[in-house]
Amino acid sequence: MFSLFGDWWEAQNWAQQVFWLTAIVSSLLLAIFSALSLFELSQGNGTEPEHRFPHVFNPRYILAFFTAFGWLALLLSHQHITLLFILLLASAGGLLAAVFTKALIRFFLPLAPGHKPGTEQLMETTGRVLEPIPPHRNGFGKVHINLRDAPYELEAITGGGELKPGVPVRIIGVIDGRVLLVEPLDDEGYPHENQKGSRV
């Protein structure tokens, strides 16, 4: 068996060997990374994995690029075209795969059980009150926000007066990673703020 594999491997040219290694290793790493991410989400972790990395260097996108690049380059290597043309076409296919992966993540991630947007995403986001929010942090209400075209309904409190359903609000803080501190969009400051607008 090993001799057959060795003969087959030796029959590949150096470029095809590189493409095989790239395709197989990238596919395995992408499968492992995706499985770990799904497991993490199933445990109710509310953080969004893609925000742990710079947008361009997200492992999902890189692995998707090299997976598509490897398999497409391997397929094209059996055609009568130059290596440069193979690399150009495979790179274009890899970029399309990375963009498609990013689009899928942004569409499906908000639907995952236990998913909540990160604090950085929420700050300065706007929304509308769904359930009345009691005044002066005396109770919880709910607000609806539209983040990256994905709707969320989250608990919220306010330091000012009561906020009724339909009132537009902005998020100015996140408490314990799950409760939003909001104020009305037309708010010029809470009564206990000084004239410069700093909260006490």
- CATH number of the CATH domain containing 179: 2.40.50.140
Type of residue found at 3: S
Give a yes or no: residue 194 inside a domain: no
Averaged pLDDT, 104-128: 67
Per-residue model confidence (pLDDT) at position 36: 84
Beta bridge partners of 155: 142
Judged against a pLDDT cut of 90, whether residue 69 lies above it is answered with yes
Overall domain count for the chain: 2
Domain end marker among 60, 89, 111: 111
Q: In which domain, by residue range, is 91 found?
A: 2-111
Per-residue model confidence (pLDDT) at position 19: 94
Q: How many CB atoms lie within 10 A of CB 143?
A: 26
Q: Are residues 174 and 103 in the same domain?
A: no
| Residues 197, 192: Cα–Cα separation, whole Å | 9
Judged against a pLDDT cut of 70, whether residue 176 lies above it is answered with yes
Percentage, residues of the chain above pLDDT 70: 71
pLDDT tens-digit map of 114-125: 555 566 667 767
pTM attached to this predicted model: 0.55
Nearest by Cα to 152 from 114, 110, 113, 185: 110
**What's the chain's average pLDDT?**
79
Give a yes or no: residue 192 inside a domain: no
Report CA torsion sign: 110, 115, 118, 122: positive
Q: Around 186, how many Cα atoms within 13 Å sit in the side-chain half-sphere?
A: 3
